[in-house]
Amino acid sequence: MDGEEFTPAGDPVCWLEHVCDECGALIEGALPATCWRCGAEVTAEARA
């Protein structure tokens, strides 16, 4: 990459809190929310 400007790729944020623990679906929008796939409650709690 000599002489090329580095441009980061992808989203700069972590989407982990938007993944349903029950089925793995990605939840769009504000949390807490109900999973569109399995109906589980998805919250913005910290994950260990």
Q: What is the pLDDT of residues 11-22, one digit of tens each?
A: 767 889 999 999
Please compute Rg for the chain using Cα positions: 16
For residue 48, pLDDT beyond 60: no
Q: What percent of the chain has pLDDT over 90?
A: 56
For residue 35, pLDDT beyond 90: yes
Angle, CA 47 vertex, CA 37 and CA 18 arms, to 5°? 35
Asked whether the whole model's pTM tops 0.85, one would answer no
For residue 3, pLDDT beyond 70: no
Listed by start position, the domains of the chain span: 23-48
